[in-house]
Every structure is written in structure tokens, then in C-alpha cells.
Structure 1
């Protein structure tokens, strides 16, 4: 038995409906979509894990650990994962800090193997923390299977609030946005920027993103999206532009089909 998220509408109207029913839908999804054995195994064994090597050696635990950070696809890259975890995040040259995908930075910091003598797996609240994140990510994936724009909207709400609140420089925050495929996709669509922007020099891209943010929201910073009003506006712009683009594609496809049919009839 499984629960499929209910998404009767697309676009911003569908997003508003999903937001209103999110708590109920997440609870229903978690109740039937996460294996009880999987959850019980994680709770019973994660506290025994004190090294990165031990974690990557247990596939069942690693599946949940990676899934909590949206890194499920890399489960077979054990040597790489171990290196990321053992390097931690507190040292400037740590591998996790160098990677474009900042989920690895969050993953390494979340477990603390390379940063502390006693990893975070020993905390009494750790299992609940990771399992909650895992279930939320699984719900997002289920939503994305029906509507990827909704998944991207959920991701940006979670990730952008955390990023906006960090003490790093605004340029560093923008580089994080630019290096994250889900975040970048939302900003590019919301700002009406072409995907070809990625071909430009990074500093040029940074300038474009800042200028677009200032034009749309009155400030060049990423930190401004800690304001839920601005965050909501960003998501709304993304979904509306995405829906319009999809409609244009659909219309173009229908027009091409009509022209083909007319040509066939003429022949």
C-alpha cells in the first residue's frame, strides 16, 4: 500500500492547494510510504555508527542518510562519500566545501565525523532528525513524479531560508544558488533568464543574478529571502512563468501538429 500526493491542479493554483493540505498529505505519506523495517533498523543501529567507514559499509543506513539530503543517486560511490564525511566542513580545504553541490556540505556537517571527536550520530535526537528529513525528501520526490515544478518549489522553500540565514557573504550565497541545480532552475525561471547564462564567466553570472534580484525585489542580496513575503513572491513568479512556458510549448506543439495534418490533407 502506498500514498500518492494529491495534485489536482498545476501552476500557482495547484501550489496554493498543496500548501494548504501539506501537513495532512505528508502525514498520510509518511504513515504508509516509509518502510517500518527501514525506520526501525535506522533507529536501532545509527547510534552504533562512530565513523564514516562504518556508515558507508551499511547500505541500509547509508540509504536513509543520503536520502535525508537528497543524495540518493550517489549510494554506490562509497569511497567518495567516505572521503567527504571524513574531511568534515570546518577546515577551509575540506572536500565538502569545494564541491559545487552544497548538499554534500550539509551532509558532512550533519554527521560530524570529520569535525568532532564524537560524531552527531551519538546524539539522542539524531535518528529523529535524519528520519524526518528523509521522509520529507521522499515526499518531495513523490510530488516531483507528478509535477517537477512543485518539487522545485518545495526545495527552494526549504533550502533558501537556510541559505539566507547563513553568515557567509552575499556573493558566496549567490555562488551556492548558482551551483545548485534546483535553486538555479527556480531563480532562472522566476527572473526570466536563459539557461545559456551558465556559459558565461561566473562573475558575469553573479552580476546578472544580482541585477535581476534588485529589479524584481528591490535588493541584490540572497538574505532578503529570509522574508517569507519575498520568498512567496519568488515561488509565485517561478510557477507562473513555468506554467506560461508550458502552455506556449503545448500551443506550439498543437500548431505544428495542425500544420502537419493540413499538409497531409493537401497532398
Structure 2
């Protein structure tokens, strides 16, 4: 026979009884045959789920999953739940981010079907009062949470020193020379350490990392040593080009090589990815301004081709070009001043006076792609953006494929998780590196669930089921049991004080508790939403001396608030 949880008495008396017996009652309830079998089946099989469809097709697993988030009523709403599960949490326009109910967001984030991060423990999202704080401004504008964060670090009373705290919060704690780490008081680093505002950003792929880190050098990179000194940019270069030999001295020789010289260090390497890297940054590129004899330029085919391309000129042969370069620009009768040769005048003038500052392939690529990062949904958008496509091929040493759209598309569309896919078996390591850098098709990889995932969800499910059983005999007791969790979810959403109140007003259980505990009339729901907000804040300040919902999570105030709700709800019954 199954055990049914119960309550003796109502109001505060009933709550006192429930508090004394809850652990024992819940333990017995969880051993009920049907519930026990359901939970055991769930914990054994949930971490084998690889897609939202698999979860939706398993009624028992879906029952426990939805029940863990208090979404039991959606068990038959498969199409909607599928959209929620597959939502991209990073997209403000995704369906889950357009819903006001944080339970759906918790469900989507926990399973992570629409995220590259994969599954997370429910506790990784919930239970943290700072979970909704995304920027230093979010924290500094929330006086309640700011006081708590300072108090956690033993820095009470500093909340008005906003400019100083902003610099502390923005510090990179991994950098010994950052602002917080240079302060003599370690409590400031501990304060900033509660957040990750100053930490290195996370990128979707190595291309995004490469371009973002390169763009940090607004004045450009002057030398190979500048690149080698920037660890984040260097790592992005290594990842983007798939480099295997990465010790500094070797890379310095690669980067400083004259790629136009067949006998240079980089041209002796069998792996042409290093040549692509060297050409991308061009630190060893010959300086035409140092050349006084046209023969130096004419005898270097690669440099000559690039020089002509700078002025959009064609190669008319060595004899012709020599006459151009040796012309007296001030003599109207010189070779380059003849009408049929005037197209080459700027070319000759640049050689004799000042050659334009060379622009690296990396700079050209960054200029082309920066505003387009994150906008590509498939490789065809990149391939048929001809200027970007050309810059991409140049960067990876794949210019020979400028008209070979089929090969490039076939590589981009390859399943990178398969060892036998087209890109992974192609002989050209440069093509493979380019494909992996963009990662248009990362392929299917086995989802890794964090340790304790099944157990946490099972515990959430059994706790909510216990609350439901209690609610069958006394609805107010169910509200009292769930109060702390529901209010914590609101606070975890972040935002302003008013945003918290709006979420409370939009949550039926929390609205009921707050209206009752604050002694608000039932007809308040008919008022304008802003008027409801004012009334709730006024009553909260009068009764508890605060207008911020987060303050109600303080243990003493939470207990006082809960008991007031139970007392007034009991009185209202009579």
C-alpha cells in the first residue's frame, strides 16, 4: 500500500507539524512502490538520452523530467516542449527566452539540446542568488545583491564606491598584474572571484577566437614577437591552422621567414600550414622601399605579382616593366609618361618614392569577416560572399580553389566527427584546417552528462510530488513548502528590483503568497500592473521594512514571511 503524506492542523500549527515530520514522511513516501520504480528507471536511463526526440518518445522519462520542473501539465504538449528543449538560450529571440515562465528556461538550460555546452546540473543554474548577474553594471545597480556580494568577501559598507568596485569587478583574476590582484587586500580579489566578468571570453569556433583576439590589436602587430607575446591570440592561431609544432623559437622562425624566397626556413617545411600562417601575417615580407634596383623586384615573381596586384595591373613582361620602373617621372618624354603606359605611372612612382604600407592577409580577412561573425547559418553563405571567400582562401593558402566551389562546399559540409568524412580524409591539410576552423558541421558527438545529473533531477521530482500530495490536503501548505524555491528562481533571473516584482506578479503561486502575506485585497489583480507593483512594494515596506524581493530569502525574514502567510491564510478561511 502506498503512503500518502499528511498534515495535522492548519496555518502555523500545521506548518510546525509538517516541519517536524517532513523528512520522515518524505523518506517513506519515496519508498512507495510505484514512485520508487519510476525514479529508479529514470536514474538508470536518462543519461543515455542523446536528443530531444528521444526524451519526448519515452513517456516515463518525460514524466519525471517535466515533474522535476513543475511542468507536469505539459506532458501531452509534445510540440511545444520540443521547441523549448531545442531552444538556443543565447538567442534572445528563441522561444524559451520569450516565455515569462522561468521553469521552461531551467528545463532548456539543464538539458542543453540547443547549446554547445551540453547538459548542466540543475543546481548549476538554480540556487545561486547571483545567477542572473551578467555584467558589473547588473551587480552595481542592484544594491541588495551588491551588499551581499561585498558581505561575502568581508567588505561591508563599500557599496557607494562604484567606480572603484567597477575596476575590481572587471579585473582578470588570472592576470597577476590586473587591478584586483595588485591591491594589497586579497578580499577584493575574493569579491571579484564570485563572478567571471574579467575572464577570457568563450568563442563558438577558432575563427571567431582568431578574429576577436586579432582585433584587440587596433594598431596592428609590428612583429612576430608581438604575436608570440599575446598568448590568447597565439593559441587562436595554433587552433585555427591546426599547428602541431608550437614552441616559440620554431614559430618565430616560421613567422619571420621570407615566404617569397624558395630557400627560406618556412619553405623547407613539408607541412604547408606553417607557410599559410607565415603568409597570413607577413612579418618576413620583403620591403620594396629598400630596393633601389628594379632587378630586385623583377627577379622575385611572388613579390612582383603582389606589387602589380596592389595597383590592379597585369604583367606585361620583364622588359616592359623594367622600362616602367626606370623611367624619369619628371620627363614628359620618358617611357611611363607615354599615353599608352600611363596606367603604370603610379606603380613606378611608388617604387621610386614610397611604396604603400603592406596589408597582411590576416588584416584583410579580419576586415571582411568581423561584422559577419556569427551570422552564417550554412557554408554557402560564406562561399558565395565572393570577397570574404577570396580573403578566406588567401588566409589558409587555398587561393587555387577560388573557382572550385564544389570541393570547398563538400569539405565545409563534411561531418567533422567522422574520421572517414571528406574533409578528414582529404590530402590537403590546409583545406582540412580551414574546414575545422569554421566547424559548420561539427557532427554528432555523444552527450556527456555531469555526475549527479540523474540524481538531482530525481530528487527535484520526488520533492515536487511530495508537495503535490501535501497540497491535496492543504493547498496553503504546498505554497509554503515551495516558497523558497520559487522565490529563489525569481531572484536568479536577475534584473532590477521591479523586474523581480513583475515576475512575482506573473507567478500564480508566488502572487497568492505575497497577496495574502501583505494583506492585499483579492481585487488587486484588476488594477493596472504598475499600480499593483506600487501597492505590493508599499505593503512590503510597511510590514517588513524592505522593497526588494531578494531580501525575503534571508532565513529569518523568510521564516517570518512564511508564517505571516500561513497565519493570514488561516484567518481568511474563517
TM-score category, normalised to shorter length: 0.7 to 0.9
Alignment check: 8 A CA contact 1:29 1:139 kept? yes
Alignment check: 8 A CA contact 1:52 1:85 kept? yes
Counterpart-to-counterpart distance in 1, 2:21 and 2:86: 40
1:190 aligns with 2:517: yes
Superposition RMSD in Å: 1.8
Partner of 1:94: 94
Partner of 2:62: 62
1:148 aligns with 2:480: no
TM-score, normalization by structure 1: 0.86
Cα distance change of structure 1 residues 175 and 90 upon mapping to structure 2, 3 Å threshold: farther
Partner of 1:38: 38
Partner of 2:107: 107
Query: SS at the partner of 1:214?
Result: helix
Cα distance change of structure 1 residues 14 and 99 upon mapping to structure 2, 3 Å threshold: same
Gaps (5+ residues) in structure 1? 248-267
Counterpart-to-counterpart distance in 1, 2:570 and 2:450: 44
Partner of 2:119: 119
Most deviating of 124-133 and 90-99: 90-99
Cα distance change of structure 1 residues 224 and 70 upon mapping to structure 2, 3 Å threshold: same
Partner of 1:254: none
Structure whose alpha-carbon radius of gyration is higher: 2
Partner of 1:48: 48
Partner of 2:556: 229
Partner of 1:179: 506
TM-score, normalization by structure 2: 0.41
Most deviating of 129-138 and 203-212: 203-212
Query: SS at the partner of 2:31?
Result: helix
Q: Post-superposition, which runs of at least 4 consecutive aligned residues in structure 1 deviate over 4 A? A: none
Correspondence list, 1:233-252, <5 A: 233-247=560-574
Alignment check: 8 A CA contact 1:50 1:118 kept? no
Alignment check: 8 A CA contact 1:164 1:225 kept? no
1:29: Cα distance to partner? 1.0
Gaps (5+ residues) in structure 2? 121-447
Counterpart-to-counterpart distance in 2, 1:100 and 1:107: 13
Counterpart-to-counterpart distance in 2, 1:201 and 1:218: 24
Q: Which has a greater percent of helix?
A: 1
Query: SS at the partner of 1:160?
Result: helix
Alignment check: 8 A CA contact 1:89 1:96 kept? yes
Counterpart-to-counterpart distance in 1, 2:462 and 2:98: 28
Query: SS at the partner of 1:17?
Result: helix
Counterpart-to-counterpart distance in 2, 1:203 and 1:96: 25
Counterpart-to-counterpart distance in 2, 1:108 and 1:199: 33
Instruction: Give the count of matched residue pairs.
Output: 247
1:162: Cα distance to partner? 4.2
Query: SS at the partner of 1:9?
Result: coil
